[in-house]
Chains A and B, each alone.
Chain A
């Protein structure tokens, strides 16, 4: 019975129409939500954050999970994207007259950041592992200090009055587009080169992989996506300052990546959504609202001793949850595994033979989310 059910599930998940259907459905739904106000502004805001965080986590996963380096530069990339797009949309492009130009600003923010990604990739030719972590940390700090010391862009006060143009449907579109790019990259010879570098850099060089080129491409793509996330973030918050993009922000993204699982796009989506939603759900007001149906006898003491303190408690619960996840799933919840729908059919078929012949034990363990690579 269970086996039959599983087969059924697998067939549904394997279906060619599943992912396109989800995408179209999501697009229609997000447009409807924004247009008809189906959800209140707060929930929409949370969903937008989920989208931006998914972009950030997936793009960091490319360098940290797939390539196996430990980059701490992500908040710096975000900052560059945020600043350059904000300046463009405020000073250069007539965004007020033509809101569609906003996307040009976002794209430009991403491209500028990609160039910077190229710069960060250069030391990675020579420096690896923990030392590369330091290089990227230094890069992050330099970006932050540089922004603090340029008065023309507000110095430590930052930029305020950025037009609010980031909306739920557009975040959905950008997220889907960027995830598609990253997924395409991962399932190409360059993506396999990235994986090979994680496994054994010298051996991959000897197997004809141009490791420098692959590293540059991976860093640039990762930075590009982070820059776009930063641009969307700036046009949501309407105010940015160097302090927003410090090492704590990087830590947050790292947590999402490793919570969800390394080398997995599905994992990054899961990690970003879990982290963002849990932090929001655990707010005292949200929990009180959710539990308000309880009788006063139960609710009042609960409220006094637990719910009211959640503002502090949730910040303690989250890291504890992270540590527990790491103890039970050292590679993250979906580490090294992938949601089947994301794997190109060609790849799935090519790996197929193992499924026909007896490796059942291995297979049953991660049946509908196997990447095997």
Chain B
């Protein structure tokens, strides 16, 4: 079943088009990667899907419903979650609160109940706490629940970002360079982690990555972007052997 389709999406900043005639079809349960040199428009794809930017032309449909024109929180409430290329945690808040904030759209109590701490408030808050602590446990962060996010080491911050995204309860998870700044051993752990949560939460994942090891290792389908245009698309084997891709992106076979 198709989960997300983008048809003829085009996005321009002034005269410069970051993305031209972009098409994407993502099936339920799939793990797809987007690669391409810096400035190829990869993050723009994420920003368009999540509503940070509004596509100049074209349509993005999620489960048949149009996403273009919705605000980010409306889109997120439809169970599309993302992480950021440069970590964007709520740095001065506790690890637990970082995760709890992402429960916003699933919180079912009214402002009045919140003001009086009555009605559904107590039950919901307890549920959110249990849920959040459960997520932190999966990412081995539970013992740090009370720590301020900015004090975490880099790797933990990356994990916390994924935990926070999962708190939204997503069906589709967008990972923007999850392996950035990691060493090979850490990348191996990350690959395991991604596969693990994919199984556990029945996720569809779309990820942007430069680390070929990760992309070739776990992605089932890969899309290559350059200058806002799609160069190639296919399974890792096909991409690795596509001469056009090798020249434009992998620089003559220098797979790293």
Contacts and interface: CB of A to CB of B under 8 A. Distances in A.
Contacts of A355: 146
A211 B73 contact: yes
A352 B97 contact: no
B156 interface: no
B103 A195 contact: no
A192 B82 CA distance: 19
Contacts of B114: 184-185, 188-191
B143 A357 contact: yes
Contacts of B104: 189, 192-193, 207-210
B47 to A, nearest CB: 10
Contact of A195 (B76, B90, B126, B145): B90
A132 to B, nearest CB: 19
Contact of A188 (B93, B102, B121): B121
Contacts of A187: 117
6 contacts: A189-B104, A203-B90, A206-B73, A207-B164, A208-B168, A346-B126
Interface of B: 50, 52, 71-73, 76-77, 82, 84, 88-94, 96-97, 100-107, 109, 111, 114-117, 121-122, 125-126, 128-129, 132-133, 142-148, 151, 164-165, 167-168
Contacts of B91: 199
A179 B128 CA distance: 24
Nearest to A336: B92
A205 interface: yes
Given A206-B76, A207-B168, A354-B144, A184 B116 contact: yes
Interface string A337-373: 0000000101000111111110100100000000011
A217 interface: yes
Interface in A300-349: 336, 344, 346
A204 B96 contact: no
Contacts of B102: 207-208
**A195, A200, A373 pick with most chain B CB within 10 angstroms:** A373
Interface in A205-240: 205-211, 217, 221
A248 interface: no
Contacts, number: 135
A75 interface: no
A202 interface: yes
B208 to A, nearest CB: 15
B77 A351 contact: no
A355 B147 CA distance: 9
Contacts of A189: 100-101, 103-104, 107, 109, 114, 128
B111 A200 contact: no
A354 B90 contact: no
Contacts of B71: 205
Contacts of B76: 205-208
Given A207-B164, A208-B102, A195 B117 contact: no
Given A188-B109, A205-B73, 4 more contacts: A189-B107, A210-B105, A351-B96, A362-B151
Main SS at interface, chain B: helix
Which are the 10 A-B pairs with shortest beta-carbon distances? A354-B146, A188-B114, A351-B146, A208-B105, A199-B90, A208-B76, A189-B107, A205-B72, A207-B102, A203-B88
A353 B146 contact: yes
Contacts of B105: 208-210
B199 to A, nearest CB: 24
Contacts of A204: 90, 101
A86 to B, nearest CB: 26
A196 interface: yes
Contact of A352 (B77, B82, B90, B146): B146
Contacts of A196: 90, 93, 101
Contacts of A184: 114-117
A201 to B, nearest CB: 10
B119 to A, nearest CB: 12
A181 interface: yes
A192 B97 CA distance: 7
**B50, B73, B144, B146 pick with most chain A CB within 10 angstroms:** B146
A350 B133 contact: yes
Contacts of A351: 94, 96, 145-146
Contacts of A352: 145-146
**A181, A187, A192 pick with most chain B CB within 10 angstroms:** A192
A26 to B, nearest CB: 21
B166 to A, nearest CB: 11
A203 B164 CA distance: 11
B88 A354 contact: no
A193 B114 CA distance: 13
B145 A354 contact: yes
A227 to B, nearest CB: 16
B143 A353 contact: yes
Contacts of A202: 52, 72, 88
